[in-house]
Amino acid sequence: MSFKIASSPHQHIQKTTAQLMKLVALAAVPGIAVQAYFFGYGVLIQLLLAIITALLCEAAVLALRGKKVKAKLLDHSALVTALLLAVAIPSYAPWWLVVIGTAFAIIVVKQLYGGLGNNLFNPAMAAYVLLLVSFPLPMTSWLPAAPLQQQSLSPADAVCTIFTNFSCSGYSISQLRQDADGISMATPLDTLKTDLSQGYTTEESMKKPVFGWLSGEGWFWVNLAYLLGGLFLLQQKVIQWRIPVAVLGSLFGFSLIAWLLSPDTNASPLFQLFSGATMLAAFFIATDPVSASTTEKGRLIFGALIGGLAFVIRSYGGYPDAFAFAVMLANMTVPLIDYYTQPRTYGHKSKGAR
């Protein structure tokens, strides 16, 4: 009798890349739900658009590259990329924005670099940066949270706005953003930045309705939901604690120092943690395995770098939120970090890199 030959180990943990990706998508659900509640159903449409685009692009490129399309599509990595970009884009941004962004993320940032595992940059963040630089206006046109909106928007309105730039009742996106006085409302981070540049103190600026409780109407809850999702990922061992802790820790640390030194011109550390894309970035974006550091020490450095850069760009840069830039910059340093943070191999004295 002849038996089948296989190489050891003959046993494998029942956790595949596809399952990891699915868990990531699952963990994002609470965040997406809260986002949809506060900022409109637009986010769902954006999600749909992004996923369709991502899958089509991925399939096309894989076919062109002569790869096994189905097997690779089923690793769900394109799905996660699409998801991350869709939730980072303003909910009512025109449809072509997310389509362009997703296509760029998949085709250029991921596949042209060699496909899953070989991309230097986080595809979703690279695409976000591209869009932000190319189309700054639609990319920053967030509606105020639902309680502050003058016109309540139905799902149908969402579809209309995204595809025609006008809601079913004919409001343009900039009209939708206006408050009762006809003044366009920006995101809390944006507002704070503008106010501080105009000489207001943090405290004065924070009195505006857009801030709501702690860190901005709606934004606090969105961040909390992503934090929950992140904790779920940690518990499922999909991600390791080092990167998120380092991101949040360094953002908190830097903003604490700045805030203690000059509370009038700096936001509080808690505000920083719960506004904008902080939690999403810390748990979902920075932890993207492909473009993050892989050594234990390296992950701490990588995370701290992101948190620090985000603080600097938020406080002193020209853009309201900063994580996309921070992540991309940190991505670039990964090969270096990895090289210099090789663990000490058992039985060796010196550190890995010599």
Partner 1 sequence: MPTLFQQIQAGKVWDFHGGIHPPSRKERTNQKPVALLDIPDRLYIPLRQHIGVAGKVLVKVGDRVLKGQALTQAENAMAVPVHAPTSGMVLAIDLHTSTHPSSLAEPTLVLAPDGMDEWRPRKPLDPEQVDVYTLLERIQESGISGMGGAGFPTHIKVNVKQPVDYLIINAVECEPYITADDMLMQERASDIIAGIEILVKLLSPKAVLIGIEDDKPIAAASLKAAIGQKDNYFVREVPTKYPSGGEKQLIQLLTNKEVPAGRRPLDIGIVMQNVGTAFAIAQAVLDDIPLIHRVVTVAGETLAQQQNVLALIGTPISDLLNACGFQAEPQQRIIIGGPMMGFAIADWSVPVVKTTNCVLAPTENELGAASDEMDCIRCGACADACPASLLPQQLLWYSKAKDQDKLAEYNLSDCIECGACAYVCPSEIPLVHYYRVAKADIRETQREALKAEQAKARFDARTERLEREKQERLERNQQLAAQRVAQQQASGQATQSAAAVQQALERTQQQSGQSLDKEQIIAERERKKAEALAYQQQKQQAQIATPAEDQAPGTAEDPRKAAIAAALARAKAKKQAEAQPEAVEQTAPAEIAPDMDAKKAAVAAAIARAKAKKQAEAQPEAVEQPTPADTAVPEVDAKKAAVAAAIARAKAKKLAEAQPEAVEQSVPAEIAPPEVDAKKAAVAAAIARAKAKKLAEQAEAPLQTEAKATTERALPPERQEPATTPEQDAKKAAIAAAIARAKAKKQQNSEPL
Interface residues toward partner 1, by CB under 8 A: 1-13, 15-17, 19-20, 71-72, 75, 77, 115-118, 240, 289-290, 292, 294-296, 299, 338, 342-349, 352, 354
Closer CB to partner 1, 164 or 344, in the complex: 344
Q: Which residues pair with 72 in a beta bridge?
A: none
In contact, 145 and 206? CB cutoff 8 Å: no
Angle subtended by helix axes 219-235 and 17-39, to nearest 10? 160
Token pair, residue 71, equals 């097997």
Q: Given the complex with partner 1, which of 118 and 184 has the nearer CB atom?
A: 118
Q: Which is nearer to partner 1, 134 or 294 (CB)?
A: 294
d(Cα 128, Cα 292) in Å, to the nearest integer?
17
239 vs 258, which CB is nearer to partner 1? 239
Q: Which is nearer to partner 1, 1 or 137 (CB)?
A: 1
| Secondary structure class of 184 (helix, strand, coil) | strand
Minimum CB separation of residue 83 from partner 1 in Å reads 16
Question: Encoding tokens for residue 212?
Answer: 């709501």
Distance separating alpha carbons of residues 266 and 258, to the nearest angstrom: 6
Return the number of the residue (164 or 348) whose C-beta is nearest partner 1.
Answer: 348
207 vs 349, which CB is nearer to partner 1?
A: 349
Nearest-angstrom CA–CA distance, 128 and 321: 11
Q: Give bridge partners of residue 178 from the DSSP assignment.
A: 184
Q: Which is nearer to partner 1, 16 or 184 (CB)?
A: 16
* Shortest separation between residue 197's beta carbon and partner 1, angstroms: 40
Shortest separation between residue 294's beta carbon and partner 1, angstroms: 4
Tokens 């986010």 -> residue: 43
Q: How far is the CB of 78 from partner 1 (least distance, A)?
A: 13
CA angle, residues 320, 138, 216, in degrees to nearest 5: 40
Least CB distance to partner 1 at residue 249 (A): 20
The DSSP annotation for 277-332 comes to: THHIIIIIITT-TTTS--SHHHHHHHHHHHHHHHHHHHHHSSSS--HHHHHHHHHH
Shortest Å, Cβ 348 to partner 1: 5
Q: What angle do CA 107, 113, 114 make, to 5 degrees?
A: 95
Q: How far is the CB of 10 from partner 1 (least distance, A)?
A: 4
* Smallest distance from partner 1 to CB 20, Å: 5
Report the chain's C-alpha Rg in angstroms: 21
